[in-house]
Structure 1
Amino acid sequence: MTEREKARKPEDLTRLFVERANDKDAEGLALLYEEDAVMAYPPGQQTVGRAAIQKLWEEALPHMPAFEPEEPLPTLISGDLALTSTPPRDGSGARAQVVRRQPDGSWLRVLDQPEFQKPTG
């Protein structure tokens, strides 16, 4: 494993995610999550744990188009927890993550909801 840039503020996680996804770096994406993080992806399912998140991205990234940066909404911070979010460019809902400050001052994702869908009907 190579030394990778760490998120020094919660909003850095979104930028690092896009950069690593576009580099097809599944390991680097997984390193943005705590060991026992939960990601609500694929849609309707949950992927639990850094190893499972890495495996999911190893399988998905080769088939995905380039990711476009999305401007983050204001971050809510309470102590060592923060809520980050971005509105998708296509206006299809929202993305939100709960992140936690680590002992070294960096931030990692704990809960990741990459696709909130607008209710139908």
Structure 2
Amino acid sequence: MTDNRAATEPNDLGRYFVERANAGDVAGLVALYEPDAVLAFPPGRLATGHAEIREVYEQFVAAAPVLSPGRQHPALVAGDLALTAATLTNGDVTVEIARRQPDGSWLWAADQPALAR
């Protein structure tokens, strides 16, 4: 079952990501991104747009990862853009750019899930 709850705050996206990944919900993961978003994952690869992002997450959830939320940092919001970041339990730092949509919800436009340790 696909989870399509809309993010009403930028940091909802990170929480929804963990929930949907743990549920194996590829469609729900893709729904967190704008249609032309860019995802830098796995490291060294760029996936652009929903079709390529879906391919990445199909492989990702096939490995049946169990994710924990780590520590979400406060979102830095400037108008309709937000910089979101989290420190994962393995020490990796994620950084994303979210954009407020016309309906007031938020979607990621760019996602760098393993920036640094």
Aligned position for 2:39: 39
Q: CA contact under 8 A between 2:3 and 2:28: conserved in structure 1?
A: no
Q: Give me the identity figure in percent.
A: 45
Between Structure 1 and Structure 2, how many residues are aligned? 117
> Deviations along 1:32-91, whole A, 9 cap, x unmatched?
000000001011111110121112111221114211112211110000000000012122
- Larger strand fraction of residues: 2
Instruction: Give the residue type in structure 1 aligned to 2:54.
Output: Q
Give TM-score scaled by structure 2 length: 0.93
Cα 1:86/1:64, change in 2 over 3 Å:
same
Q: Return 5+ residue gaps in structure 2 as ranges.
A: none
Aligned 8 A contact 1:36 1:50 in 2: yes
2:54 corresponds to 1:20: no
In structure 1, the gaps of 5 or more residues are none
d(CA) in 1 for partners of 2:99, 2:83: 9
Moved more, 66-75 or 27-36: 66-75
- 1:66 aligned partner: 66
1:26 touches 1:55 (CA, 8 Å); kept in 2?
no
Runs of 4+ in structure 1 deviating by more than 2 angstroms, as ranges, are none
Length-normalised TM-score, structure 1 = 0.90
* Paired residues of 2:37 and 2:110 also in contact (CA < 8 A): yes
Q: Which has the larger radius of gyration?
A: 1
